Structure 1
Amino acid sequence: MSAQQLDVKKSWRAIRRSRLLVAAAAAVGLLGGIGYAFLQPPMYNASALIVLPPPPASAAGSATGAQSIDTQVYIAESGPVLLSAGQNVTPTLSTEATRARVKATAVTEDVIRIDAKGPSAKQATGLANAVAQVYLVFITTDQKLPGDLGKRTGARILEEAVNAHGGSMIVHTGIYGGLGALLGAIAGAVIVLARERGDRRLRLRDEISDAVGLPVLASVSSYRATDPSDWANLLEHYTPTAVDAWALRKVLHNLALDVKGGRQVSLTVISFADDDKARPLGPQLAAFAGTVGISSSLVIDQHHDKPSGEVALEIHLVLVDREAPHLDGTERTTRTIIALSAGTVTAEELARLAVATVADDRAIDGLVVTDPDPFDRTIGRVAQAQRRTGSRLPTLLTGTARRTR
């Protein structure tokens, strides 16, 4: 897979992940387009047709119509004609305003169409007829004009502008609103990509695994706990979804902690103190273990929360500082894992934590990702060198279960 394909996929994931921002920008653009449509109302279009006499023949007997019709179009759009026509309509228009609304076109070698625009059907038809009438005056005048146009006869209005088309406010608003929404969405996407360019946080399981060379054991939905009552409810009434229950069971099994008898085992769950989505993983594991018949206890800052009697699994929750992590004074356990939520940690921060853990003479047995990116199809268990070969790799169909109404 080429680097360009990877960049496109990464950019598309970033846009989908920030789709609310893009949608908000599109909504702002839509409102801006609608507002502009009301400030610049739709214009009506009207047309008048002028027929000219046959062009004069040259000395050799051939007609010179092509040159003649171009001259007539030029005269119809000239400043004197537009100035007089603008003064003959209500409200009056300047030469430049009239020029912006009028267009003369040669339909055939002896027919000219005058197209005029106006904010109302009456103004559009009035301007088209005014230009046509002034043009006829100019080409039949006694004054000397370019070519042999003096006292020319036979030119007349073939069809006056009677009806005007266009001017639909619904269509006008829809066009400008749609264009504004498109431009807003593009602007939102550019903002997202610019922000993503400087964002070093790890979002994909493969990225997280590659940062420290450790496998991702499972992905779990986080439990929202903001006050003591939430934590108490988590320990007493936690009921994971089927997907989360399977993921938690795999964590215990892969760490050989799903024992229901024999020697006591223990697990240290390390997470950053400010990672609100990863902190509840230790209590989630402890509560889940109890539901599958494994007696467990939870140790937080050397404070034990366990039932009476011996327990089969003791889970220690260790919270560390993001900038200067250290595990001094914490108790050794059978297994150690790091819990982190997707999109909250950089490779450097995760590496610092891994170094501090190893420096405390602990072996990290794996990673658990909470709230994975919904568009992440990687699993974080394949060696980085194998991924570079470009061979087809296993992917996840979904990250975590989505609750439906």
Structure 2
Amino acid sequence: MGEQALDIRSGLAVLRRHRAVLIGATVLGLAAGVAYTAARPPLYASSSMVLLPEQASADQTPRDPGTEQRVAGSAAVLGPAGRMLRPRLTAGQMAAHVSASAPSSTVVSFSATAASPAFARRLAQAAAASEVDYVKQASSAGISAQQRDFDQRLSELNGSLASLAGQITSTTKRRDTEGPTSAAGRADSTALAQLTAQQADLVLQRDQVKQQAQTAAAGIAPSTASIIEPAATGARPGVLHRSLQYGAVGAGLALLIATLGLTLFARRDRRLRYRDQIADALGSTVVASLGSRPPRTVARWTDLLTDYDPGTADAWALRQVLHQADRRLTLVSLSGDQDALAIGPQLASYAASTGMLVRLVLGQRHDSAAALWASVHQGEEEELRPGLVVSTSATEDPRTTLTITVVVLDRRKPELASVPLRGRTLVAVSAGTVTAEELARAAVTLDDAGLRIDGMVVANPDDLDHTTGRLPQRQRPAHLSLPSRLTGALR
């Protein structure tokens, strides 16, 4: 649970740290949604509704709404509907504009969308008319098939009766010729009786078939499907409502993508952001944390050295750094860390403002700090403000109260060209700029040169950083206790 809570807090911290990115992504997503609505305005929509006929008898299979919906959306209905329009449309083109639904087993609804209100109405009306025609044709086809079956049975019965009548006539003539009292005559009389009985049975069957045909013709009528809701002129939703809808969707998607991207980036980001992490990387403590205002131009560096006036909190932090110094102090920063680079000049300028005689020595330089070195005339000493002398020479003046040497090490291949004057050594680091590996390489270089790291100064600490970096890792609590269920107090 503790690790899960830490992961959640870390994720929330990443999002809060990059809230400007999240806000920008949300605004861009909103703008993209509104622009999409402007580029592709909503289509006009029209609908129609068809009432299907009631079933002729209770023996028929009940209609299925799903089947009726599939039939209404098939080429059998949409194809003829497209041929009703001018210009004609194919079944596929109709399907792109018209959708069918079946709210119940006896009602079919059509919804059509188009770029113009009139065309949307024509599409919906043509689909409804085609559905009515399809139902009527299907019903008429059923009636015709049943009538053909009755006709076929009557034809077969009439043929059988005609054949039987011929046999009765020939048998009667033969009996009259041979004599009814003769043996052959008596046999013919018996056969004649059987033929007459068969004839009566066939006549009865023919009458029954005729009656069934008449009943079917009277009880089954062509379909009475009708359009109960004609298509009206197409309408579309308001552009403002649509813009807000698509804008909200775009903003939500952009925010989600930005959140996922920042979370994945944070998992791969190895830079140190919290003071405890920075202190653990070097096994040292953080002696002070303060705000840094790194100049970007030569003139701005000169202004910082001559007119730097820190706030109350930063002045106290600089005093804590001065308490760590003896007569010599070396401030080491890594290349590209401009916030940390400015700590040395800020400390020297502030110390001079308190009445100290300070000598700021710009020692080992790097291309990333070229503007600071350019603000000082090479090989010459300058008194930029009362009590502050800036030089690139490592010589020491006995009258100087404090000598501050600024050293910039390459973060990838740190090398110390010349060893600064012996004294206290502090490493200046800004939050979220360096990794533990880069700090370790710099520490190894300083140790090889015989310089012991006496502490660290953190520039511009993270707003969400509630650590201090002043306690060694072994002295920190492993985890925070959860509140008691009964009292809510920490255990």
Both structures adopt the same fold (TM-score exceeding 0.5): yes
User: Structure 2 residue aligned with 1:160, among 230, 237, 243?
Assistant: 230
Segments of 5+ residues of structure 1 without an aligned counterpart are 258-263, 393-405
User: Structure 1 residue aligned with 2:141, among 144, 155, 165?
Assistant: 144
Q: Which amino acid aligns with 2:256?
A: I
Q: Are 1:331 and 2:421 counterparts? A: yes
- Counterparts of residues 91-106 of structure 1 (less than 5 Å): 92-106=88-102
CA–CA separation in structure 2 for the residues paired with 1:68 and 1:358: 86
- Aligned partner of 1:236 in structure 2 is 306
- Aligned partner of 1:9 in structure 2 is 9
User: Structure 1 residue aligned with 2:457, among 361, 365, 368?
Assistant: 368
Deviation for aligned residue 1:43: 2.6
**Residues 328, 421 of structure 2: 8 Å contact kept:** no
Deviations 1:158-210 (A, max 9, x none): 12122544333333333333323332333333433444333322122121111
Q: Which amino acid aligns with 1:324?
A: P
**Residues 220, 370 of structure 1: 8 Å contact kept:** yes
Deviation for aligned residue 1:238: 0.3
CA–CA separation in structure 1 for the residues paired with 2:327 and 2:70: 96
- Aligned partner of 1:321 in structure 2 is 410
Q: Are 1:382 and 2:456 counterparts? A: no
Q: Are 1:211 and 2:273 counterparts? A: no
User: Structure 1 residue aligned with 2:316, among 231, 239, 246?
Assistant: 246
- Aligned partner of 2:69 in structure 1 is 73
Deviations 1:80-121 (A, max 9, x none): 211122233455433223224333333344333222223333
**Residues 50, 131 of structure 2: 8 Å contact kept:** no
Once the two structures are aligned, what percentage of the paired residues are identical? 35
Q: Could you state the TM-score of these two structures normalised by the residue count of structure 1?
A: 0.81
CA–CA separation in structure 1 for the residues paired with 2:294 and 2:480: 39
**Residues 298, 305 of structure 1: 8 Å contact kept:** no
CA RMSD of aligned residues (A): 3.2
CA–CA separation in structure 2 for the residues paired with 1:176 and 1:214: 53
Q: Are 1:282 and 2:278 counterparts? A: no
- Aligned partner of 1:197 in structure 2 is 267
Residue aligned with 1:362, SS: coil
CA–CA separation in structure 2 for the residues paired with 1:348 and 1:159: 75
CA–CA separation in structure 1 for the residues paired with 2:305 and 2:287: 22
- Aligned partner of 2:154 in structure 1 is none
Q: 1:277 to 1:73 in 2, by over 3 A?
A: closer
**Residues 136, 156 of structure 1: 8 Å contact kept:** yes
Q: 1:70 to 1:196 in 2, by over 3 A?
A: closer
**Residues 204, 378 of structure 1: 8 Å contact kept:** yes
CA–CA separation in structure 2 for the residues paired with 1:236 and 1:151: 106
Q: Could you state the TM-score of these two structures normalised by the residue count of structure 2?
A: 0.68
Q: 1:219 to 1:68 in 2, by over 3 A?
A: closer
- Aligned partner of 2:376 in structure 1 is none
Deviations 1:139-172 (A, max 9, x none): 1127526999x96232211121225443333333
Deviations 1:236-270 (A, max 9, x none): 210112222222123223x2x4xxxxxx6222111
- Aligned partner of 1:403 in structure 2 is none
**Residues 44, 114 of structure 2: 8 Å contact kept:** yes
Instruction: Name the structure where helix makes up a greater proportion of residues.
Output: 2
Q: 1:265 to 1:68 in 2, by over 3 A?
A: closer
- Aligned partner of 2:80 in structure 1 is 84
Residue aligned with 2:478, SS: coil
Deviation for aligned residue 1:292: 3.2
Segments of 5+ residues of structure 2 without an aligned counterpart are 147-219, 365-378, 390-397, 482-491
**Residues 278, 436 of structure 2: 8 Å contact kept:** yes
Highest CA radius of gyration, 1 or 2? 2
- Aligned partner of 2:41 in structure 1 is 41
Q: 1:324 to 1:145 in 2, by over 3 A?
A: farther
